Amino acid sequence: MVKGLYGDFYADLKIAPAYGKRITLTKQQIIQIQSLSTVKYFSLAVEEKAVLVNGEYRATVSIKGVDENYERICAIDKHIIRGKFILGNSEKPAIVAGAGIENAVGLDVLSSLSGVTLYLPNNSAKTSSLEEALNSFNVIPTGSFLIQSEFDNKYVFTNLAFLKYMLNFEENEYSYAELNVTSNASTTQVQQQLKGILGKNYTVLTRYQQNQGLFAVMSTEKWIIYGILSLILIIASFNMIGALSMLALEKQKDTALLKAMGAPSWFIRNIFLLEGLILATVGAIAGIALGSLICFIQLQFHVIKLGGATFLTDYYPVKFQGTDFLLIFATILFIAISASWIPARKAALLQVSLKGNE
- Give the residue with greater pLDDT, 350 vs 45: 45
Q: What is the pLDDT of residues 118-129, one digit of tens each?
A: 999 987 766 666
3-state secondary structure of 159: strand
CB 154 within 8 A of CB 109: no
- Residue 350: per-residue pLDDT: 75
Beta-carbon contacts of 244 under 8 Å, excluding residues fewer than 6 positions away, are: 272, 275, 276, 340, 343, 344, 347
What does each C-alpha distance from 198 to 188, 210, 300 come to in angstroms? 15, 19, 49
Strands 94-98 and 134-145: parallel
Of 109-118, 124-133, 140-149, 193-202, which range is least confident? 124-133
3-state secondary structure of 42: strand
Average pLDDT of 348-354? 70
Is the pLDDT at 50 greater than 50? The verdict is yes
Q: What is the pLDDT of residues 336-345, one digit of tens each?
A: 999 999 899 8
Average pLDDT of 285-302? 94
Q: Which residue, among 54, 55, 45, 40, has the nearest Cα to 25 in the 3D structure?
A: 45
Average pLDDT of 57-69? 96
What is residue 118's DSSP assignment?
E
**DSSP E strands: which ranges in the chain?**
13-17, 23-24, 39-54, 57-66, 80-83, 94-98, 116-121, 134-145, 155-159, 173-174, 176-181, 202-206
Long-range CB pairs of 310-316, under 8 A, 24+ apart, other chains included: 310/149, 312/1, 312/5, 312/146, 312/148, 313/1
Average pLDDT of 302-319? 75
* Angle (CA) 176 179 182, round 5°: 165
Residue 35: pLDDT band by 50, 70, 90 thresholds? very high
Percent of the chain with pLDDT over 90: 66
Average pLDDT of 236-241? 90
Is the pLDDT at 132 greater than 80? The verdict is no
- Residue 112: per-residue pLDDT: 65
Beta-carbon contacts of 158 under 8 Å, excluding residues fewer than 6 positions away, are: 63, 64, 65, 66, 87, 88, 93, 94, 95, 96, 118, 139
pTM value is 0.71
Q: What is the pLDDT of residues 178-226, one digit of tens each?
A: 999 999 999 999 999 999 999 999 999 998 888 887 778 888 888 999 9
Residue 309: pLDDT band by 50, 70, 90 thresholds? low
